[in-house]
Structure 1
Amino acid sequence: MIVCGIELSGNDAIICLLKQDDGIFYLPECRSTRIQCANPDRAEDLQYFQKTFVKLAEDYKIDQLAIRARQKKGKFAGGANGFKLEAALQVAPSLNVTLLDATQQKANLKNYALPIAFSETKLKKFQEPAFMVAFAYLAGQHQW
């Protein structure tokens, strides 16, 4: 199974691919570490963003998108643009999308701890939240 972990930040979707096969996980190479939506207020830009993810999922045979959910209200609430990007991915007919909030991630990681330190993954530091949501999704599926 290949999962694409996604952290939405501003107009960007920061991504990390994580593949699980027979209890071992791999970090497949990906042509991009982030996908940007130039202007989430324009329908054309949102459609382009959505089509870019559909193409990425086809090219890398991604089974699941796992998005790190943001709070809807409060001090750490997500911005409107992030919610638009999230919705564009959720309504794409060919994409399987799951939102994982912080509580779900912590519960999944409590039962299936990360086997290596993030620094050993050779991913960029800004990809850590995307990696963690992908790993938490797989841990929640009891794939290990």
Structure 2
Amino acid sequence: MMKICGVELTGNDAVITLLTVDNELFNLPECRVRRVTCKNPDTANELKYFQKTFTQLMNDYQVDTVVIRERMKKGKFAGGANGFKLEATLQLIEGLNVVLMNPTAQKAHLKHYPLPITFAETGLKKFQETAFMAAFAYYASKHEW
């Protein structure tokens, strides 16, 4: 069984969606939180607390892989400094497989292995769509084209 957590970093939040896959059937298990917040990414203690909270959540749900939707480093849609701090904090979690998925690769994977249902049918909140699509694109990337 594959357990994936899709993450979208927005401001001081990591919006998350869990996706499990067993025998080619995917499931969206309930999670006790939809986002993990770092109140002040400028302080080391808050970043450590954010990392500890996220790590505990991943351990509780036995997540294999965390997929973060990569943000642009420059240009019109560039990510903010706080988002990059949170991204690095998640990437440095020991024992957790963290993957960055850029939007171009995500689109390519979803083109070759499209979502079999509409997002509305998932039962997730609209603000979780980007995190879900990152998780599903990672799952799609594991299939031969």
Common fold by TM > 0.5: yes
2:9 aligned with 1:8, yes or no? Answer: yes
Letter in 2 for 1:104: A
Q: Which residues of structure 2 form unaligned runs of 5+? A: none
In the other structure, the counterpart of 2:108 is 107
Task: Give 1:94 deviation, angstroms.
Answer: 2.1
In the other structure, the counterpart of 2:128 is 127
- Cα distance in 2, alignment partners of residues 136 and 124 from structure 1: 18
| Secondary structure at 1:5 match in 2 | strand
Cα shift readout 1:48-70 (whole Å, capped 9, x = no counterpart):
11111110111000000000000
| Secondary structure at 1:83 match in 2 | helix
- Cα distance in 1, alignment partners of residues 48 and 96 from structure 2: 14
Q: 1:54–1:94: 8 Å Cα contact kept in structure 2? A: no
| Secondary structure at 2:66 match in 1 | strand
Cα shift readout 1:63-93 (whole Å, capped 9, x = no counterpart):
0000000000001000000000000000111
Give the structure-2-normalised TM-score: 0.97
Task: Give 1:95 deviation, angstroms.
Answer: 1.4
Cα shift readout 1:5-29 (whole Å, capped 9, x = no counterpart):
0000000000000001100000011
Aligned pairs for 1:1-144 (under 5 A) are 1-142=2-143
* Structure 1 stretches of 4+ moved >6 Å: none
Give the structure-1-normalised TM-score: 0.98
Identity of aligned residues (%): 62
